[in-house]
Amino acid sequence: MSTPTVVIAGAGQAGSQTAASLREMGFEGRVVLVGDEPHLPYQRPPLSKAHLTGAAARDNLWLHSPAFYEHHGIELLMSERVSRIDRANARVELAGGASLDYDHLVLAVGARNRTLPIAGAELDGVVGLRNLVEADAIRDRLARARHLVVVGGGFIGLEVAATAARLGLDAVVVEIADQLMARVLSAQMAGFVLDAHRARGLRVELGTSVARLTGTAGRVGAVTTTDGRVFPADMVLVGVGAVPNTGLAEGAGLRVDNGIVVDEYLATEDDRISAVGDCTSCPNRFADGDRVRLESVHNATAQPRFLAGRLVGRPEPYVSVPWFWSDQADLKLQIAGLSSMQSSQVVLRGDPDSGRFSVFCFDDGVLRSVESLNRPGDHMAARKLLTIGDCLTPEQAGDTDFDLRAHIAARSAGGSAIVDLGARTQS
């Protein structure tokens, strides 16, 4: 009998973790990891923070050393990409002209940045941040720039803006919504983060968007907003979200709906093809079973572990508390769970004036999410509380004398162990 082959399309965090997890769980077949970048698979979170200042050494970005892949028999095909899936023959075609047969194909193709559909978006100095090459280019530009405009008040935009302000640049964030990080944060936490950034010298303009970009000799020089204001800019960072890379799946006739549609076992409708990471649209218990697409390191590391378990004959449905983090200057923001953004009750734990507090969001008395600022203990407790389920009242959440860890231990005693694969990932 021939050795089974797993081909992984995409060598980001999700693809690399899939390969590593397969070996960790005893898969003895062939594992081929195909990535379109020339580098070893690397961490992306430092790209918008420590990498821009040079605080993170380049070699510390790699997820694993070359020796790791060699020792575990993981074949790396870098500077290459899967261009077509031939489902009938269980084969993928590569952009370089070769092909690979597979017994199982894993799509870990990630997402790409949204672009600005406005005049001037093509000017030199208008940049996005998704990969190492772009991060290197931004770092070089920051060393020469004086004026940065960030379009979009999400995680990436605020991280880069905070870094730029620390480096002494005149930095402005332009956000179309009336609060920062509107898709993921409560108004209470967003308001505190806004005030903190402004107090540190970062200019933030809410409720407006960019109308056009102008410049001279092909280089960006200014940003004009829809309300008529003009901001000087020798660099413009576009951080307005991402679009899942679904073209490969669509070309193969797989179902797509804001991502590659998978079931709770991360399988597509083709039993020889699965998908993991930013590109997936997956049912989520913490969204009442609705299908969601998550962009996070946790998702990109936890999903591959569940998938590897299924591929070695130990299937379990993907159930893991979603969690996220963002480091913005000295603000460490951590989020556990998924809020409806219309929480019926929001409870503060801790003192916002101290810069260390959490926001517990409840819907009809049920804890849905916890946002923690510089309170990592609350964040870890929140992940366990959400795993257990309905076990915390708003009154308990708001009482700083109420011992969350003891409460968790009491609720867990005599029951099944709390499992949160995300606890093993890097933060």
Shared domain for 195 and 339, answered yes or no, is no
Q: Residue 323: inside a domain, yes or no?
A: no
> Which residue segment(s) compose the domain that 135 sits in?
126-240
Instruction: Report the greatest alpha carbon distance in the chain.
Output: 71
* Ordered DSSP codes for 382-395: HHHHHHH-S---HH
Structural domain contains residue 321 = no
Q: Are strands 210-216 and 242-244 parallel, antiparallel or unpaired?
A: unpaired
Do 355 and 407 lie in a common domain?
yes
Answer yes or no: is 118 within a domain: no
229 shares its domain with 250: no
pLDDT at residue 162, as a whole number: 95
> Quick one: pLDDT at residue 196?
96
Same domain, 108 and 14: yes
pLDDT (0 to 100) of residue 355:
94
Rounded Cα–Cα distance for residues 266 and 103 (Å): 16
What confidence score (pLDDT) does residue 342 get?
61
Residue 79 within any structural domain of the chain: yes
User: Among candidates 43, 82, 24, which has minimal Cα distance to 273?
Assistant: 82
Going through 177-330 in order, the beta strands assigned E by DSSP cover 203-206, 210-216, 219-225, 230-232, 235-238, 242-244, 260-261, 273-275, 280-283, 291-292, 323-328
312-316 long-range contacts (CB < 8 A, ≥24 apart) are 312/22, 312/25, 312/26, 312/27, 314/25, 315/265, 316/265
Last residue within a domain, chosen from 191, 220, 240: 240
pLDDT of residue 413: 75
Query: Same structural domain for residues 351 and 300?
Result: no
Containing 137, the helix (H) or strand (E) segment is helix 132-144
| Assigned domain for 345 exists | yes
* Domain closes at, from 225, 240, 255: 240
Listed residue (193, 153, 188) closest to 332, CA to CA: 193
Beta strands in 284-330 (DSSP E): 291-292, 323-328
Same domain, 335 and 405: yes
Query: What's the pTM value of the predicted model, to 2 decimals?
Result: 0.93
CATH code, domain carrying 234: 3.50.50.60
Query: How much is the pLDDT for 425?
Result: 33
- The pLDDT score that the predictor gives to residue 341 is 58
Instruction: Give CA–CA dist 267/253, Å, rounded.
Output: 14
379 domain residue, yes or no: yes
Q: Does residue 215 form part of some domain?
A: yes
pLDDT tens track of the chain, all 427 residues?
A: 578 999 999 999 999 999 999 999 999 999 999 999 999 999 999 999 999 988 888 989 999 999 999 999 999 999 999 999 999 999 999 999 999 999 999 999 999 999 999 999 999 999 999 999 999 999 999 999 999 999 999 999 999 999 999 999 999 999 999 999 998 999 999 999 999 999 999 999 999 999 999 999 999 999 999 999 999 999 999 999 999 999 999 999 999 999 999 999 999 999 999 999 999 999 999 999 999 999 999 999 999 999 999 999 999 999 999 999 999 999 999 999 997 656 679 999 999 999 999 999 999 899 999 999 999 999 999 999 999 998 999 999 999 999 999 999 998 874 444 444 333 333 3
Is 227 found in the same domain as 143?
Answer: yes
Q: Are 302 and 320 spatial neighbours (Cβ–Cβ below 8 Å)?
A: yes
The number of distinct structural domains making up the chain is: 3
